[in-house]
Structure 1
């Protein structure tokens, strides 16, 4: 398929078939992201123990913080590439590609070095104990330097998908996921490397996937590719990337802060240090299960992105609206399934991550409380991705940070002092509900705006 045909079908092919064409590979890609994390946690929980999975949960603030810069560049570059290709500006898309690689290396060096220097001090501040910090340190010493490979892999996979190669993007991620699973089993059970083995498995798998992704952008028959004259730093392309990527970047940064607040709240409001470790371990399990739902929703939303971005750039607003409604309906259903399963099947879900009966009891009870509002998450994720794809930066940003900033943090100040650890779980559920409602209001505004644009001569 030539370049013009690859982009032309975005404006002409039936939307259901087109959404499936992009959403299925994108969903596989994001589910692979979830698989990297969930598989690690299952192997660590089952093969190492309850303190190891709590130690892994302690690392969340650092790993999420590092990933935020990958989201800043990857989400911003992929959305901007999609819009530029919709305007037939291939040169502009390649300029974005070249700027993104330089930004990746700069931001990674700026974040990896401080994380390595102050690692133990950070873990202590996050609420770690003498039982959990050693596991966290063993994991981070490998994962933190390897984060540059993860950033290259995920960021450029998103650009590959946005430039019209969703299936190829899917396969590059699948290769890494399968390899990660095999290496987890080999390193943890075969070699007895414990949590260190899980870290090495992830880094090696990411290196292989990153090599496949980057190779694509050096091929002459790719829609866009690396060109030496565009590799550098220039203010306009940098801002074009950052302005759109700011929304998911802020979400990740706030996600890091929320992880800190979760862990600190457990340390403060649990009756003992041991019970705090159990609550942190339960949080690790809950976040793993929630990640499956979030990544599924995000994959469907990312499949929407090139369709919406191209058609918005081409002025085909009816196709933009219908694509959003289709995607929002699917994601809302996914959120409802996750919420109901957390209520009805929590012991079964938790048993996949741990053999500890004590941790199973704590995590099962917490899962049903924490994810009861998850039905609203699907709409909020779809709305955020939709606004981001249209370049509506400010409202996308507001919606993306709403759950943590406007709802969760204030509730965390009010509820745990009265309800203890249960207040932490309920604060998360209420925040999910409120941010979903805010998403509905902002989407209503955007739909009215597009109607006015259609009416203009």
Structure 2
């Protein structure tokens, strides 16, 4: 048996035969680190801006955050979709098609990044007003956002190629490239803000410098060292390839797009209802901005687990191994749920400790920020189950279900609740919209998954009835 496994390991992709636990750790851990690093780009900015400028500077980064989610939405749509499509093709032993997918998504990433850059600079002021900028925060928001937009093409390429590196069988590279960028960002931020006194402009320059380096490292890898090689011949766009990878990635893109719409609605609701209270709209906006960043850290862990499971799920779907698909999903659910429970406990038990990292404000700011974190994050422990379930449908070639579930929590539930509940409960209604949406969406996702697991269990029983020789 041992000789058979060794012989298989020389011929077959390890996604098809190595133990699921080992594979998931190998792919998910780098993905988690990459997602956390990507989240930390903005969080590190907010920490140093909060310490060096104050809550108005933090409010400005919150206003700019929809720009970040727009860039992430486009890059995640392309990157997650191309990764899922390439993994399926590798499982079907169609390596040439997977390589064409790499070339197509690289070109699309550059084009999309330039479009976002151009439109963002042209419509910068109207966009920032839409995102909740006031007279007190407009200058900071304008300075910070205009610099971030310049880095959009590199930011997108970094996210896209990180996804493809995992499918290429090198998940650690994606991690290293992101970590290098994050370390540089952390070093440059205090230098630019406190030494050169560049304020929010310095924080933005540190961020895009780091993103450029990450994108360059990944591009060099795919040009010289990867299994799927980046070739100019594959830059010619193929409608079937682009259509399929966009279909597979649309759920991830919808998730991030919904986050953009959510941020706009949330920002404006906080300013409007906050101005009707003693604390004021700018204070409410700044406090929720910090809570949203903490939420992004927790979601990054869950998304990282989902991304790490995608190559395993996609490959075994292409290779028709339902038992490995089921085991991968269950392991991923357990890991993501454990992480979200730990984050939930921290938000409920020590919110003041977490908030001190972002600087100190007046008493109204601190009290509202603590209240905001405890209430808005009350249902965050359900995030792991929901994110991994959506990733499962995406990876196994079920884009319609993945798209519906991607829209569910933020677009179909949370945004309407943010608009509706404050009519009755004022600013508190904005906060309670979070847990109501979390619990409701978790129940709906559970219904989808119960049905899916019944089908998968039937496939597993059929697989056990097939002689082992016929599967090779």
When the two structures are superposed, what TM-score results if normalisation uses the length of structure 2?
0.93
Instruction: Give 1:275 deviation, angstroms.
Output: 0.9
* Aligned match of 1:92: 97
Residue 293 of structure 1 is matched in structure 2 by: 298
Is the counterpart of residue 370 in structure 1 residue 376 in structure 2?
yes
Shift of residue 3 of structure 1? 12
Residue 289 of structure 2 is aligned to residue 284 of structure 1: yes
**Residue segments in structure 1 that go unaligned for 5+ positions in a row:** none
Instruction: Tell me how far apart the structure 1 counterparts of residues 430 and 326 of structure 2 sit (CA, whole Å).
Output: 37
Indicate which of 116, 119, 122 corresponds to 2:121.
116
Q: Displacement of 1:111 after TM fit?
A: 2.3
1:247 paired with 2:251, answer yes
Shift of 1:227: 2.0
In structure 2, relative to structure 1, the CA distance for the partners of 1:93 and 1:147 (3 Å cut) is: same
- The Cα of 1:169 is off from its aligned counterpart by 1.8
Q: How far apart are residue 285 of structure 1 and its match?
A: 0.3
Summarize deviations over 1:314-365 as a string: whole Å, max 9, x none: 1111111111111101111221222221111111111111211332222111
Structure 1 distance, partners of 2:451, 2:84, is 21
Q: What are the Cα deviations for residues 361-384 of structure 1, in whole angstroms up to 9, with x where unaligned?
A: 221110000000011111000101
Check the 8 A contact 1:19/1:303 in 2, yes or no. Answer: yes
Contact 1:29 1:169 in 2 (8 A): yes
Contact in 2 for aligned 1:7/1:86 (Cα 8 Å): no
Q: Which moved more, 1:241-250 or 1:10-19?
A: 10-19
Paired residues, number: 456
Residues 169-318 of structure 1 aligned to structure 2 (within 5 Å)? 169-219=174-224, 221-270=225-274, 271=276, 275-318=280-323
Report the Cα distance in structure 1 between the residues aligned to 2:414 and 2:105, rounded to whole angstroms. 32
2:450 to 417, 421, 444: 444
How far apart, CA to CA, are the structure 1 residues paired with 2:134 and 2:171?
Answer: 44
How many Å separate the matches in 2 of 1:206 and 1:60?
A: 16
Give the whole-Å Cα distance in 2 for the aligned partners of 1:196 and 1:445.
Answer: 51
Q: Report the Cα offset of residue 83 of structure 1.
A: 1.1
RMSD between aligned residues: 1.9
**3-state secondary structure, aligned to 1:217:** helix
Contact 2:390–2:405 (Cα < 8 Å) also in 1: yes
Secondary structure of the 1:222 match is coil
Distance in 1, matches of 2:43 and 2:85, equals 30
- Using a 3 Å threshold, how does the CA distance of structure 1 residues 272 and 124 change in structure 2: closer, same or farther? farther
Label 1:86 to 1:61 Cα distance change in 2 as closer, same or farther (>3 A): same
- Work out whether residues 110 and 156 of structure 2, in 8 Å CA contact, stay in contact via their aligned partners in 1: no
* Whole-Å separation in 1 of the counterparts to 2:260 and 2:76: 13
> 2 CA distance for matches of 1:125 and 1:228?
40
Q: In the alignment, what sits opposite 2:148?
A: 143
Q: Structure 1 stretches (4+) deviating beyond 4 angstroms?
A: 1-7
C-alpha displacement at 1:102, in angstroms? Answer: 1.8
Match of 2:13, SS state, is: helix
Contact 2:269 2:419 in 1 (8 A): no
Tell whether 2:79 aligns with 1:74. Answer: yes
Cα distance between partner residues in 2 of 1:265 and 1:446: 38
| Residue 296 of structure 1: how far off its partner (Å) | 1.0
User: Corresponding residue for 2:25?
Assistant: 20
Residue 420 of structure 1 is matched in structure 2 by 426
Which moved further from structure 2: 437-446 or 86-95?
437-446
CA contact (8 A) 2:262 2:411 kept: no
Tell me by how many angstroms 1:57 deviates: 0.4
Deviation at 1:4, TM superposition (A): 7.3
Tell me the TM-score normalized by structure 1: 0.96
- 1:415·1:424 contact (CA, 8 Å) conserved in 2? yes
Contact 2:422/2:428 (8 A) holds in 1:
yes
SS in structure 1 of the partner of residue 169 of structure 2: coil
